[in-house]
Amino acid sequence: MLSFYERIEDDKKVKIEVESDIKRYLNNSWLLSVFLHIDSSSSDSEHYMDFLRLKGSLIISLEDEDRTGYVGSRAVDGWTEFYFYSSTSQDIKVRSGDVLQYADYNYESHVVKDEDWSFYHRNLEPTLKEAEKIALIKKKVKENK
């Protein structure tokens, strides 16, 4: 289940989308990071629909059963960062490049070993206070349905 929240890091607002249902990927130790130079922080942006299509294409092309899974994204300073954990480092960077090479945006991608998921825990997973705020918002949304 995806959750959305914001935090301040180095005096900058960071918008975070995090997948909390990650159990099936926990044995995957390769972290793929894709950095896309597009400001996704506002749905009013003229490029927002392009961003959503590109995001969907990237996730669909990389998710592969239990081998590779999308775990979240961060938007800060005009860049959107996408994160995936994979059981292999082979071809995931190539597959992301296959999708992004035709986009009109600058991008970078990196693959690193992250066996203990330290990046996810430090940069995507909400703190207890953030998780409580997310739960409160979800509760209010349910009540207003």
The pLDDT tens digits of the residues spanning 84-128 come to 999 998 888 888 888 888 787 888 999 999 999 999 999 999 999
pTM: 0.89
Give φ, ψ of 48 to 5 degrees: -65, -40
Specify the pLDDT at position 26.
Answer: 92
Specify the CATH architecture of the domain 2-143.
2-Layer Sandwich (3.30)
Listed range (12-21, 77-86, 94-103) with the worst mean pLDDT: 94-103
pLDDT at 30 over 90: yes
pLDDT-derived band at 40 (thresholds 50, 70, 90) equals low
Cα–Cα dist 18/59, whole Å? 13
Specify the pLDDT at position 103.
Answer: 80
pLDDT at 141 over 80: yes
pLDDT at 39 over 80: no
Q: Are 71 and 19 in contact (CB under 8 A)?
A: yes
Radius of gyration in angstroms for the set of CA atoms belonging to the chain, rounded to a whole number = 15
What is the residue extent of each domain of the chain? 2-143
- Beta-carbon contacts of residue 6 (< 8 Å; ≥ 6 apart): 13, 14, 15, 16
Please report, as a single letter, which amino acid is at residue 139.
K
Burial 7-41 (b: 16+ CB within 10 A, else e): beeeeeebbbbbbeebeebeebbbbbbbebebbbb
Output the DSSP codes for 34-69. Answer: EEE----S-TTSTTHHHHHHHHHHHHHHH-BTTTEE
